[in-house]
Structure 1
Amino acid sequence: MNPWPLLGARQMGWNRMQRRRRLRRPVFSRLTWAWLGAFMITVTVAGVVARDAMNGGGVARVALPVEEIETFARVAQVHRENPIPTPPASNNAVSNNNGPALRDGSTPEAVDMLGGDPAEAAFGHDEDNSLTLIYPGENEMFDEGYDNSEEHIDGDEIYSGDGIVITIPGKDKPATSAQMASLSPAVQPIPNADDALLQTTALGQIPKISPDGRRAVKYYARSFDGSSREPKVALIIGGLGLNSAITERAIDDLPPEVSLSFAPYAKDLEFWTQKARNAGHEVLIELPMEGYGGNQQALGAAALLTSRTPQENLQRMDWLMSRFGGYFAATNYMGAKFTADNASLAPVLKKLKDAGVGYIDDTGAAKQHGIGLGLPMTTVSRMIPAAATDDDRAKVKRELAMLEHIAEQDGRAIGKTYAYATTIDEVVEWSRTLPRKGITPAPASALLQTSAVAR
């Protein structure tokens, strides 16, 4: 038998098997397949982002500086070559000192920005755009306008504050702060000091009546609708500026209807009083006056004393009244003896009247000396004890209840106290109960009594 055909067949089979082995796909591990899949996803995402960037779409970016106030803003369509609009100034704007809130977006500018529909402008979203959270810092986002500086993100959005940047999916690119409907009562800042209401003396600038007749007693007073027939109660917290922590608590925690009085010897008064006005509190200046007994030196070098001549007291008034601007009225610190002496007090009251400033007295003696002067003034109905500890809190609660009782009987009442942490805590809780008791909280300026107040 010839073996060669058999050997040839075997060789041909061997050759076919070798060719199949050479053409067989390589064996990939699961890890290799995972890496290949991740690579393909990355390439796909990069392609989508590049396409959206070229078409003007993409993701919305928003800056979130930590530990700041939370407000809502909409993603708005802004042309790449046009500046990002600066939100219009408004009394409803939320300052960095307020809690989370939405802002009024029913203004024409906000409606325009958000598509022309007032309902959507107030509510803050529609089918096309997503809501975006913005935590504004000391310099709010987009408040400097659009330019090509390093503060831009990809040349599209400006971010002028410190903080981290995250991306949130959305249709349009830049997140601009839009004003929207408020969930809490709007803060109404008190105006800053107006040069037209100031005059220069040898010891500094003090208030005056402006050429057009405006007076500090009205210009720097918190707005108030007194048409309600409900009893009205006002409260003044004094002694502020001497302790920074207590002063900041009073400004931030107390309702804006509470009027704040600052000690003339405190530091940084311009800073603290402007912060108070920005939070909606009207402010007063305290005048240290001579009382019965005690150490007169404790009242400081600028104290108003019965032993001084009217000229000497008025000179000290120039220094006291120049300590800061933007106050609507003055109030006494101590002063039972000084206010009972007409020869000493009358020139001081006349100076306040000529300067367009009101006066609030807690001694009960100044009222008779102010009759006929045309000075806007009032007398404190009840002094609230200053609670230095929790043990004194019950006294504060009792006196605040008495203040309510006076308001219910007379239709109005004004209280005064001095700043301690426990007192502030109690006043905050007490103020929350007034609406359900049918009592209207009022700023102290609303209870000034005179027929001569103008403008």
Structure 2
Amino acid sequence: MPRRVTPPPPLGRPGQKGPKRAPTRRRKGARISLTRTQLAGVIGLTAIVALLGAYVLGNRHPHKPAVATVPTQSGPGKTGPRPPGAPPAPPPEQHAEQHAEAPAMPAPAVPPKAEALRTEAPRTEAPKAEPGKGAAWRRNAVPSPQMAAPAPGAAHARIVLVIDDLGVDRPRSTRAVALPGPVTTAWLPYAHDLADQTRAARAAGHELIVHVPMEPVGKADPGPGALTVNLGDEEIQRRLETDLASFDGYVGINNHMGSRFTADEGKLSIVLAELSRRGLMFLDSRTTPDTKGPELAARYHLPLVSRDVFLDDDQSPKAVQAMLAKVEEVARRHGTAVAIGHPHDVTLTALEHWLPTLAAKGFVLVPLTAVIAPPPGGT
């Protein structure tokens, strides 16, 4: 017999029961169940939406970055979009008012070693002085007076008078400046009001030198800032620069004391090399027979003058008069005599009477620079 096939039940009708099917829509209030994978996807999508929102808000900010432009051919001052690969455009020029009002920017710091390499010129072992027209000692020199006619039977000779230790004792320094000139005045660099004192001396027709304190043999005190043999080379250089900055208008220096320092070739060479570099001269007071001044001056092509007579080691009137007579003797014999005295009352009184007699004896008083001979190797 043929097998009987039961047909599927017809679709449900209103009021008719049929097989249950999954609803195509979720009813309101139904619970949502998500797997872990679905939950991760929802979180990722939320993050992407948040990032897109921030990007949109950022592009809406009023301070947008400027677009680089290059000049176009459409006219002066016109700009257009920069083509790909074009070099960066130069910064726009500022107006003069902006430059004037803008605060100055500090210069970039340079390491000390690099700064020294950039600014310091290499030092030579024997720097040559500038004995020509541009030398400082020539620029600051006092004009030498005309040679006076010699008296009958007298030599025609020049005398240089140097007064040391000026500046500290103001009344006696003023008295020394009042001497008939030209007198060479040597000023201690640690004295006060040197600018005013030296200006007055210069106005009176006197030449100026710096009386640099240097270490003596023994226990005598040369004063503050003295150059001593136990100092390093850099400290000697620093102290010398301080002394040379105490006033201006000078032609060179001489040593205050210094019997130990001027006998030390290594230390004295630092001083004379700097004088040579600045175009100055050195008056060697010759406080020791062992001075290295002359040989170092020749090495550095430095103008040098040496002292012949000290006037007042003995401060009695008779001794000072004897030394003035010796000055005349040296001048007659050699044609030139260099005398050094100090602002002691006995010395100043003797000079006030002696200086007016020189012309009648056939001598002429000249500034220190008038007796500078061309240094070896110079012109």
Quick check: TM above 0.5? Answer: yes
Shift of 1:301: 3.7
For residue 174 of structure 2, give the secondary structure of its aligned residue in structure 1.
Answer: helix
For residue 223 of structure 1, give the secondary structure of its aligned residue in structure 2.
Answer: coil
Deviations 1:230-256 (A, max 9, x none): 11111100111111111111112x112
* 2:299 aligned partner: 372
CA distance in 1: counterparts of 2:314 and 2:345, whole angstroms: 8
Match of 1:220 among 137, 140, 158: 140
Shift of 1:368: 2.2
CA distance in 2: counterparts of 1:322 and 1:453, whole angstroms: 29
CA distance in 1: counterparts of 2:186 and 2:375, whole angstroms: 24
- Paired positions, count: 241
Q: Contact conserved, 1:240 with 1:419, CA < 8 A, in 2? A: yes
Shift of 1:420: 1.2
Match of 2:270 among 330, 344, 347: 347
Match of 1:230 among 147, 153, 156: 156
CA distance in 2: counterparts of 1:213 and 1:410, whole angstroms: 28
Shift of 1:216: 2.0
Q: Please list every run of at least 4 consecutive aligned residues from structure 1 whose deviation after the TM superposition is greater than 6 angstroms.
A: 226-229, 452-455
Deviations 1:201-243 (A, max 9, x none): xxxxxxxx99x96222111111115777811111100111111
Unaligned segments of structure 1, at least 5 residues: 1-208
* 1:244 aligned partner: 170
Q: Contact conserved, 1:213 with 1:454, CA < 8 A, in 2? A: no
* 2:234 aligned partner: 311
Deviations 1:404-448 (A, max 9, x none): 101100111101011112211101211111111111111112122
Q: Which amino acid aligns with 2:370?
A: A
* 2:118 aligned partner: none
CA distance in 1: counterparts of 2:322 and 2:340, whole angstroms: 14
Match of 1:267 among 168, 172, 192: 192
Deviations 1:159-204 (A, max 9, x none): xxxxxxxxxxxxxxxxxxxxxxxxxxxxxxxxxxxxxxxxxxxxxx
CA distance in 1: counterparts of 2:299 and 2:277, whole angstroms: 14
Q: Which amino acid aligns with 1:367?
A: P
Match of 1:333 among 243, 256, 275: 256
Match of 2:181 among 223, 245, 256: 256
Shift of 1:382: 0.7
Distance 1:269 1:387, change over 3 A: farther
Distance 1:452 1:270, change over 3 A: farther
CA distance in 2: counterparts of 1:450 and 1:302, whole angstroms: 32
Structure having the higher Rg: 2
Q: Which amino acid aligns with 2:227?
A: L
* 1:293 aligned partner: 218
Unaligned segments of structure 2, at least 5 residues: 1-128, 149-154
CA distance in 1: counterparts of 2:240 and 2:333, whole angstroms: 37
**1:426-437 maps to which residues of 2 (within 5 A)?**
426-437=350-361
Distance 1:244 1:225, change over 3 A: closer
Q: Contact conserved, 1:387 with 1:422, CA < 8 A, in 2? A: no
- Identity fraction in percent: 27
* 2:311 aligned partner: 384
* 2:110 aligned partner: none
CA distance in 2: counterparts of 1:244 and 1:404, whole angstroms: 30
Q: Which amino acid aligns with 2:255?
A: N
For residue 262 of structure 2, give the secondary structure of its aligned residue in structure 1.
Answer: helix
* 1:444 aligned partner: 368
Deviations 1:368-403 (A, max 9, x none): 221231111110011111675xxx111111001101
Shift of 1:269: 0.3
